[in-house]
Amino acid sequence: MDLPQYAIEASGLVKTYAATKTTAAKTALNGIDLKIPRGSIFGLLGPNGAGKSTFINILAGLTTKTAGTVKIWGRDIDQRPRDARAAIGVVPQELAADVFFTPRESLETQAGMYGVPKRERRTNALLEAMGLTDKAEAYVRQLSGGMKRRLMVAKAMVHNPPVLILDEPTAGVDVELRRQLWNYVLELNRQGVTIVLTTHYLEEAQELCDRIAIINRGEVVACEPTESLLRRLDTRNVVVTPEEPVSAAPNLKGFETRLRNGGAFSVTYKTGQSSVEQVLAAVRASGLHIKDIATEDPDLEDVFLSLTYGAADAADPTRD
What one-character-per-residue DSSP string does 72-97 give?
Answer: ETTEETTTSHHHHHHTEEEE-SS---
Give yes or no for a contact between 6 and 37, defined as CB atoms under 8 angstroms apart: yes
Question: 171 in a domain, yes or no?
Answer: no
The SS3 call for residue 283 is: helix
Encode pLDDT of 59-105 as tens digits: 999 999 999 999 999 999 999 999 999 999 998 877 776 778 999 99
Is the pLDDT assigned to residue 285 strictly greater than 60? Answer: yes
* The pLDDT value given to residue 320: 38
Mean of all residue pLDDT scores within the chain = 88
- For the beta carbon of residue 93, count every other beta carbon within 10 angstroms: 16
pLDDT band at 296 (very low <50, low <70, confident <90, very high): confident
Three-class secondary structure of residue 264 per DSSP:
coil
Question: Is residue 272 very low, low, confident or very high in pLDDT (cuts 50, 70, 90)?
Answer: confident
Residue 250, domain CATH: 3.30.70.1560
Mean pLDDT of the region 295-316 = 64
Q: Which of these, 4, 150, 185, lies nearest to 83 by C-alpha position? A: 4
- Region of poorest pLDDT, from 110-114, 221-225, 300-304: 300-304
Q: Is residue 304 part of a domain?
A: no
Asked whether the predicted pLDDT for residue 166 surpasses 70, the reply is: yes
- Of the given ranges (86-90, 135-139, 243-247, 311-315), which has the lowest mean pLDDT? 311-315
Whole-angstrom distance, CA of residue 308 vs CA of residue 318: 12
pLDDT at residue 231 greater than cutoff 50: yes
Mean pLDDT of 216-245: 87
Range of the domain at 254: 235-297
Over residues 31-54, mean pLDDT: 93
* Spatial distance between the Cα atoms of 211 and 216, rounded to a whole number of angstroms: 17
Quickly state the pLDDT bin for 1 (edges 50, 70, 90): low
pLDDT over 60 at 107, yes or no: yes
Domain presence at residue 255: yes
The alpha-carbon radius of gyration of the chain (Å, integer) is 23
Is residue 5 included in any domain, yes or no? no
Region of 305 on the Ramachandran plot (φ > 0 left; ψ -120 to 50 alpha; else beta)? alpha
**Cβ distance 302 to 233 under 8 Å?**
yes
Bridge-based pairing of strands 41-45 and 194-198 is: parallel
Mean pLDDT calculated for residue range 182-208: 88
Please check whether residue 278 lies inside any domain of the structure.
Answer: yes
11 three-state secondary structure: strand
150 vs 56, more confident: 56
**pLDDT at site 319:** 37
What is the domain count for the chain? 1
Q: In 3D, which of 2, 6, 3 has the Cα closest to residue 33?
A: 6
Judged against a pLDDT cut of 80, whether residue 298 lies above it is answered with no
Question: Half-sphere exposure of 85 toward its Cβ, with a 13 Å CA cutoff?
Answer: 13
Query: Lowest-pLDDT range, 156-160, 244-248, 268-272?
Result: 268-272
User: d(Cα 70, Cα 78) in Å, to the nearest integer?
Assistant: 8
Distance CA 35, CA 73 (A): 11
- Position 247 in a domain: yes
Q: Are 263 and 242 in contact (CB under 8 A)?
A: yes
Distance CA 147, CA 142 (A): 10
Spatial CB neighbours of 240, under 8 Å, sequence gap ≥ 6: 264, 265, 266, 267, 280, 283, 288, 290, 292, 293
